Amino acid sequence: MQTVLALASGGLIGLVLGLVGGGGSILAVPLLVYVVGIGSPHAAIGTAAVAVTANALASLIGHARAGRVKWRCASVFALAGVVGAALGAELGKAVDGKRLLALFGVLMIGVGLSMFRKRRTAEAPDVRLTRDSAAMLLPRLVPIGLGVGLAAGFFGIGGGFLIVPGLILATAMPLSIAIGTSLVVVTALGLTTASSYAVSGLIDWRITALLIVGGILGTLGGIAAGRLLAARKGLLERLFAVIVIGVGLYVVASSL
């Protein structure tokens, strides 16, 4: 039964990632704790980090082939984020498991509420990080990347829901480009967090493999469904926001 639940949880994470371009990872830890049955919140975070990294990499390949990745912006954001993720992972391991889950639930509620806010219109559809634009873009990319990485490492999440608005805020790139570019950062941050937890022996590798298999299948299905439901993407995002808030409330209540 745990095998089936792990595959289904991975499929759900991948489906959300493919449909709305991010956010699936924030469901990973609650799914592992409350559905799959991993007893340790820290082990759930470490396991989720590996699975999220693999799923993000699989999704990145498709976006890169479609030309929706700004590699230079992603590289700077990711380098700053890796530093933050390494620090955040060490901080997260030092916090009591139940308290960490409660904080995670609060984060989920905040993220869900933020998803109801309208995104500002992009102003630079062909943004590029060059010598001329570096003076304007680097002071935005580096601190935002560091802050997002800190949160991603602390909670063991990919952080796509933070990276996408962070990239738009720093560069004004269009949403579709920000989604593809964010997957480079998600992969880098996830790898950093996963490495930290692996060194501490806080990863269930069997469950990880099942999550990855389910996630890849879910991502493929999500991308295909996303094409069919493109006109209703806003509705899908709002529905997902409601789910995130609901799960967050449950996590907080259970932890307290």
According to the model, what pLDDT value does residue 210 have?
92
According to the model, what pLDDT value does residue 156 have?
65
According to the model, what pLDDT value does residue 207 have?
92
Structure tokens at 40: 């340790």
What is the separation of C-alpha 152 from the centre of its chain, rounded to a whole number of angstroms? 8
Alpha-carbon gap, residue 40 to 189, rounded angstroms: 22
Alpha-carbon gap, residue 84 to 196, rounded angstroms: 12
Question: Where in the sequence is the domain holding 188, given as residue range(s)?
Answer: 2-255
Helix axes 131-155, 160-171, angle to 10 degrees: 160
Residue type, 220: L
Regions of the chain where pLDDT drops below 70:
18-25, 115, 118-125, 156-161, 223, 226-227, 229-234, 236-237, 240
Cα-Cα-Cα-Cα torsion 149, 151, 157, 162, nearest 10 degrees, comes to -80
Contacts of 156 by beta carbon, 8 Å cutoff, 6+ apart: 29, 44, 45, 46, 48, 49, 89, 92, 193, 197
According to the model, what pLDDT value does residue 78 have?
92
According to the model, what pLDDT value does residue 122 have?
47
Q: What total number of domains does the chain contain?
A: 1
DSSP 8-state class, residue 95: S
Of 239, 156, 180, the C-alpha closest to 61 is 180
Of 243, 240, 250, the C-alpha closest to 106 is 250
